[in-house]
Amino acid sequence: MEQLQPNSIAVLNSNDIMPTNADGTHAFIQQTDLFYLSGIDQEESILVLCPAAKEDKHREILFLKETNEQIATWEGPKYTREEAISISGIANVHWTSEFKNIFRPLVLQAASVYLNTNEHLRAEVAVETRDMRFLQWCQRAFPLHHYQRLAPIMHHLRAVKSPAEVELIKQACQISAKAFRRLLGFIKPGVWEYEIEAEIYHEFLRNRSRGPAFAPIIASGADACTLHYVKNDKQCRDGDVVLIDFGAEFANYAADVTRTVPVNGRFSARQKKIYDAVLRVQKAAIQMLIPGNTLEAYHQEVGRLMESELIQLESLDPAAVKNQSQEAPLYKKFFPHGASHHLGLDVHDYGDKYRKFEPGMVFTCEPGLYLKDEAIGVRIENDILITAAGPVDLTQNIPREVEEIEALMNGG
């Protein structure tokens, strides 16, 4: 509210319950900005912030779907006013059906209206959201107001996690660690990628996670070189590695972990060499996740380290590297993605790529090498909290050393 312009009002809407087919629906996932500001995890909710309201009770208002006996019978109970006040800390709670009558006099007192849109750089918004429908209605109903973007404020705030948020991410990481250790006793030649995925779901659900924070990638053999492979329908073969990119959701917060393991429990000499190269880069990269660094400088240095490793692996020619275009470095053929992204309520969480790293930010660290000609893909991903005292690995108890992985896969 301190970052809103004087005499302004801000409105955030929940996500919709999304349909499948016939009368089916997907499981509800809350709009993360509304959840961040209120803790409310229910459909048809609206949050209104009006810092300069004439009456204190109008400074923050929460609108909720009113329940009834029929809804309770079919869907279960919804929030009562008392429950919503307790969860959100917002004292003024109304039913959504009352929204327009309460909102109209407040917006007429305001000069600026802040509305929320999805401004994530990687977003492809093909489905109209409740926020977008509200934006269209609001601009038609109040065309002479000055409209502002709420997204830049939310991106700034959410990039730095509170201690409570860090604890929830830690919990998601701990559940993910349990799942990976379960896999190490399960993976062997002949298992199917979807069976590995099933083991992940089992461990997540039995530890009070709603399930994966994103669609797991279980990619064996040559498919480990496909960055977003999600078919998970191949049989794992003796002699291949399997790349597992997964992460638990806990209380709407995400973990994001990748491990690469040998299907038969032992890395070949070449696989180990590639794996160790990626691990060296990751360990060095983690040490760069410190206050004051920037994503641009960080990625440049990680790329330089990977370039050196590729030369040692004889996958890059030193002479060609010397003459390469700085705009299109040769290592990108084998390491085409970024090494880190923000992590939080969203797996690819909010954050300005030009903003210097600050304590409280949480990043993944995920270098990888993908040698298609050798059908070997290796990625190692940990989740790192930036602190004034240095990086803290929230996934440090998830095995990543070759010797530990092999020992656990072979009953050690």
Active site residue 41: no
The SS3 of residue 384 is: strand
The DSSP-derived string for 147-205 is: EEESHHHHHHHHTS--HHHHHHHHHHHHHHHHHHHHHHTT--TT-BHHHHHHHHHHHHH
Q: How far is CA 89 from CA 61, 83, 103, 198, in A?
A: 10, 10, 20, 38
Segment 5-34 mean pLDDT: 96
Tell me how far apart the alpha carbons of residues 370 and 352 are, in angstroms, rounded to a whole number.
28
Task: Say yes or no to pLDDT of 38 above 90.
Answer: yes
Say if 298 falls within a structural domain. Answer: yes
Task: Say yes or no to pLDDT of 394 above 90.
Answer: yes
Task: Say yes or no to pLDDT of 181 above 90.
Answer: yes
Tell me how far apart the alpha carbons of residues 141 and 389 are, in angstroms, rounded to a whole number.
51
pLDDT tens track for 229-242: 999 999 999 999 99
Task: Say yes or no to pLDDT of 68 above 90.
Answer: no
Say if 1 falls within a structural domain. Answer: no
Segment 174-190 mean pLDDT: 98
Segment 203-222 mean pLDDT: 98
Same domain, 132 and 200: no
Active site residue 342: no
Q: Are 244 and 230 in contact (CB under 8 A)?
A: no
72 — pLDDT class (breaks 50, 70, 90): confident
Same domain, 105 and 234: no
Same domain, 37 and 63: yes
Same domain, 226 and 373: yes
Catalytically annotated residue among 60, 249, 381, 406: 381
Active site residue 228: yes
Active site residue 256: yes
* Domains identified in the chain, total number: 2
Active site residue 145: no
Segment 114-131 mean pLDDT: 91
Predicted pLDDT at 69:
85
Predicted pLDDT at 119:
87
Same domain, 284 and 342: yes
Active site residue 206: no
Domain range for residue 96? 8-158
CA 1 to chain centre: 25
Catalytically annotated residue among 341, 350, 383, 406: 341
Predicted pLDDT at 6:
95
Q: Is 164 left (phi over 0), alpha (psi -120 to 50) or beta?
A: alpha
Catalytically annotated residue among 223, 379, 383, 400: 379
Predicted pLDDT at 176:
98
Predicted pLDDT at 121:
82
Tell me how far apart the alpha carbons of residues 103 and 58 are, in angstroms, rounded to a whole number.
10
Segment 305-330 mean pLDDT: 95
Task: Say yes or no to pLDDT of 9 above 90.
Answer: yes
122 — pLDDT class (breaks 50, 70, 90): confident
Predicted pLDDT at 284:
98
Active site residue 366: yes
Active site residue 299: no
32 — pLDDT class (breaks 50, 70, 90): very high
Active site residue 56: no
What does the chain come to in residues? 412
Of 142, 158, 174, the last residue of a domain is 158
We report the CATH number of the domain holding residue 127 as 3.40.350.10
Same domain, 332 and 401: yes
Say if 326 falls within a structural domain. Answer: yes
Segment 16-40 mean pLDDT: 95
Same domain, 324 and 205: yes
Segment 356-376 mean pLDDT: 98
Q: Are 263 and 234 in contact (CB under 8 A)?
A: no
Residue (of 380, 412, 411) closest to 395 by Cα position? 380
Segment 110-125 mean pLDDT: 91
Catalytically annotated residue among 146, 206, 270, 337: 337
Same domain, 145 and 223: no
Same domain, 149 and 174: no
Task: Say yes or no to pLDDT of 151 above 90.
Answer: yes
Say if 295 falls within a structural domain. Answer: yes
Of 129, 158, 187, the last residue of a domain is 158
Q: Are 31 and 131 in contact (CB under 8 A)?
A: yes
Task: Say yes or no to pLDDT of 177 above 80.
Answer: yes
Q: How far is CA 383 from CA 168, 254, 257, 285, 347, in A?
A: 13, 10, 7, 12, 11
Predicted pLDDT at 120:
87
123 — pLDDT class (breaks 50, 70, 90): confident
Same domain, 139 and 186: no
Say if 130 falls within a structural domain. Answer: yes
Predicted pLDDT at 292:
98
pTM, 2 dp: 0.96
pLDDT tens track for 235-277: 999 999 999 999 999 999 999 999 999 999 999 999 999 999 9
Of 141, 158, 175, the last residue of a domain is 158
Catalytically annotated residue among 366, 383, 400, 406: 366
Segment 203-217 mean pLDDT: 98
Q: How far is CA 214 from CA 130, 228, 335, in A?
A: 22, 11, 22
Say if 2 falls within a structural domain. Answer: no
Say if 74 falls within a structural domain. Answer: yes
Same domain, 201 and 132: no
Average pLDDT value over all residues in the chain: 96
Catalytically annotated residue among 266, 280, 299, 348: 348
Active site residue 374: no
Count other Cβ atoms within 10 Å, centred on residue 90. Answer: 19
Same domain, 175 and 139: no
Segment 313-329 mean pLDDT: 94
Active site residue 280: no
Segment 369-391 mean pLDDT: 98
We report the CATH number of the domain holding residue 359 as 3.90.230.10
Say if 265 falls within a structural domain. Answer: yes
Task: Say yes or no to pLDDT of 412 above 80.
Answer: no
pLDDT tens track for 327-359: 999 999 999 999 999 999 999 999 999 999 999
Least reliable range by pLDDT among 79-83, 119-123, 271-275, 281-285: 119-123
Segment 1-22 mean pLDDT: 96
- Residue 109 phi/psi, 5-degree rounding, is -85, -15
